[in-house]
Chains A and B, each alone.
Chain A
C-alpha cells in the first residue's frame, strides 16, 4: 500500500524525528511510504487568522503536491482536519473544489490510518512509563477521531495510561491564539499542566505537535520534569 507522508511544517522544522518514526512504523506495517517534495504548510495559520486568500494559496500547492496519492497520512489531527476543510475553501471554484474533495477524502491522521485503514491496533511497541494522553481539540472535534490513539496505546507493552482530569479542555495553543492572546493562553496551559501533574504521569503523549510545543514549552519554562512525546515516538519504541 502506497502512503504519501505529509510531515507538517511544524514537525519538519522542529520535530523531524516524528517523520522518521512515522515512516519506520508505516513501513513495518507493510506500507510503501513516499514523500511528495512539493509539500508546504497546510495553510491553517492563515486560515484561522482570517486570511482566506492566503490560506487558499497554500491549499492549492498542497492539493497539487498530494492529488496523485492513494493515501495521505499526517502525524497531526489538526493538519488532517485542515485538509478536510479544503473543499469549503473552494466553495466558489468548481474545478478546485473537486480536486480538494479528492485530496480531503484520502487524508488520514497517522493513528487513524493505522487503526481504520490498516486495521491494526497493536504495532508491537514496548515503552515502560506512566503516561497521560492529551486529546487534542481538532483531532477529536473537527476530525472526529476519538478512539484510535487509545486503541494503539492500550497495546503498548509496559505503558500505564492514566486518566487526565478535564481532558476535553483545550491546552491553550490554538495556533496564533497562543501569541495573540497570551494572557488567556497562559491560564489555559497552566490548568492543563496542573491536571497532568495531578495524574502522577511522567510522560505526556499527544498526536499534535502544536499542542505539545505549547504544553511542553510551558513545562520547560516552569521547570517541570515531565517528558513530552509525540505518539509516533511511543509507538516506535521497542524496549
Chain B
C-alpha cells in the first residue's frame, strides 16, 4: 500500500517511536514553537479579527464545496481544459501512476523535478517514475533531505523531516553529497540550493501537488515558502499537478479565506513567502513557462467518505495544526502511525483510505483530549470522528478484543439496573481486598494489569457515600 510506512505492527512502531529520545526532543520543541506561533497569528492577532469567525467561515466554505463536489470538480476540469490543459480523473493510485507515466513516456522525458506534495507520496509517484527509468528530484528542502537519506518517509504533513535535527542533516549531506560545511541551517540551505538550481534548469517535467484548485478559473494554487514550487511549475516545458479530489474552492473569494486559515494555522505566518497560481496557457509559444499542462485528480478512496459521517475529514486543508497540538504524536512521532498521514488527521483519514485491517488501531491511539478539534481551522470534529471509527470497528469492521465486548455488554446490563450497579459497587472493596497494599493496588489482574504495570490503582473505598448521605440528611432534618 503506497501510503504505508514500515511493516511492523502498531505496538512495535509505538515502542520504536518512544525509544527515539533524540527525535522526540526535536518533535516536542517543534510542537511548542509551532503552537505558540500559531496562537500569535490567530487567536492573539487582534488585527485579524475574531478567529472563531474565521474558522466558521472556513468550515462553511469547505462544507459547501464538499456538498457540491461533483459540480465544482466539473467546473474545474472544464475550465482547466478550456485553456488547453489536460485533466485526468484517477480512481486509484495505480491509475494516477499510469497516467503520469504515459505522459512522461510520450515525451521521452527523463529528468523530473518535484515540489512537496502529500498526494504524490500517497500514490508512491517517485517509485513509479523511477520504475520507468526517470531521474526524480525532490526540490523542497525537507523532501530533498528525506530523498537523500535513502528515501526516508515524511513524519509530518507540513514539515516532512521534522524528526531530523540539523546535525542529522549535515551528516546526510556529508555522506551522500560530499558536503564539507557546518550544521548551520543557512549553510545547509545554501548547499541544497546550489544542488537544486542546476536540476531545475535541466528538468523536462515539473510535478507539484495542489493546495487548492480554483474551480471558476481552472487554476492550481501552491502555498510555499522556499520558492521551489515556482521553479518546478514554470521552468520545465511540461507541468503536472496532482491533487486530492477534495482540494478545491469555488472561486478566488473563498481561496482568500482558506489561504489565510492555512498559512496562519500551519506555521503561524500571516502569509507564506509564495502563493503561486498556475493557470494553463495553451497558446504559450515563445513566452516563459510550460507549454503542456496536466491536472491529475485523485480519488484514492476519498469517495468512500463522501455522503457518510466521515465526510468532514475531506474538509481538511492539510495545515497540520492538529498534529502540532497532539500529545500522542508528541511522544510516538510521525512514523509510528505507519501512514504518510499522521497525528489526528492521519488517525481519521488512514483507515478510510487504507482500511481497518491496516489502520484500525490508529483511532484508538488518542486520549480524546480534543486538542485537535480545538486547533482545526475548519472546525473538523476530529475527536468525534475517532469515536465514530471506534464504533465501526467494534460493530464489525475490526477485531475488538472478546473480553472487551463482554465487559461492555456486562456494563450495559449493570448500567440499566441501578440495584445491580449498586451491588457491584458494594462488592468491589471485598473482591479487591486480597490485592490491596495499604490503600492501593500495585499489581492488578486481568483488565487492571495494564494500569498497574505503570501506576498504582486506588483500592475501592470502604466508606459508603450513599449511607453517609442518608445519615447526613437525617441529621440535618433532625437539627432543623
Contacts and interface: CB of A to CB of B under 8 A. Distances in A.
A220 B465 contact: no
A144 to B, nearest CB: 10
A137 B408 CA distance: 24
A179 interface: yes
Contacts of B458: 14-15, 213, 216-217
B391 A50 contact: yes
Nearest to A7: B465
A183 B367 contact: no
B415 A43 contact: yes
Interface stretch (B70-78, B118-126, B276-284, B446-454): B446-454
A181 interface: yes
A77 to B, nearest CB: 12
Band of interface residues on B: 35 or more
A137 B468 contact: no
Interface string B170-202: 000000000000000000000000000000000
A142 to B, nearest CB: 6
Interface string B388-400: 0111111100001
Interface string B7-36: 000010011001000000000000010000
Contacts of B327: 169-170, 172, 188
A189 B373 CA distance: 21
Nearest to B470: A35
A186 B370 CA distance: 19
A186 to B, nearest CB: 5
Contact of B453 (A19, A41, A182, A189): A182
A141 B394 contact: no
A61 B394 CA distance: 23
A170 B373 CA distance: 14
B94 interface: no
A174 B369 contact: yes
Interface string A195-209: 000000000000000
Contacts of B32: 166
Given A46-B408, A188-B328, A218-B454, A61 B374 contact: no
Q: Is the interface of B mostly helix, strand, loop or mixed?
A: helix
Contact of A54 (B368, B409, B461): B409
A15 B464 CA distance: 10
A181 B451 CA distance: 10
B130 interface: no
A69 interface: no
Contacts of B461: 13-16
Contacts of A38: 418
B387 A50 contact: yes
Interface in A1-38: 7, 9, 11-17, 19-20, 23, 27, 35, 37-38
Contacts of B374: 141
A174 B368 contact: yes
B416 A172 contact: no
B415 A16 contact: no
B365 interface: yes
Contact of B455 (A7, A52, A174, A214): A214
Interface string B368-389: 1111011000000000000101
B418 A40 contact: yes
B466 interface: yes
B365 A49 contact: no
B253 interface: no
A60 interface: yes
Interface string A164-196: 001011101111011111111111110100000
A9 B469 CA distance: 15
Which of B373, B414, B416 has the most CB atoms of chain A within a 10 A radius of its CB?
B416
B15 A54 contact: no
Nearest to B374: A141
Contact of A137 (B15, B369, B456): B369
B400 to A, nearest CB: 8
Given A37-B418, A57-B412, A182-B450, A168 B371 contact: yes
B367 A51 contact: no
Contacts of A238: none
B451 A179 contact: yes
A58 interface: yes
Contacts of B454: 182, 185-186, 189, 218, 221
Nearest to A137: B369
Contacts of A173: 367
A184 B451 contact: no
B4 interface: no
A184 B408 contact: no
Nearest to A172: B367
B382 to A, nearest CB: 11
Contacts of A19: 465, 468-469
B460 A49 contact: no
B89 interface: no
B412 A48 contact: no
Contact of B18 (A58, A170, A187, A218): A187
A163 interface: no
Nearest to B453: A182
Interface of A: 7, 9, 11-17, 19-20, 23, 27, 35, 37-41, 43, 45-54, 57-58, 60-61, 65, 137-138, 141-142, 166, 168-170, 172-175, 177-189, 191, 213-214, 216-218, 220-221
19 contacts: A14-B458, A15-B461, A20-B472, A35-B469, A41-B411, A46-B411, A48-B387, A50-B391, A53-B412, A57-B415, A138-B369, A141-B374, A170-B367, A181-B328, A183-B15, A184-B331, A185-B367, A187-B18, A220-B440
Which 5 residue pairs spanning A and B have beta carbons closest together? A174-B367, A50-B390, A217-B455, A58-B415, A170-B369
Given A54-B415, A169-B330, A169-B371, 9 more contacts: A7-B465, A16-B463, A16-B464, A51-B412, A52-B391, A65-B418, A178-B450, A184-B328, A188-B327
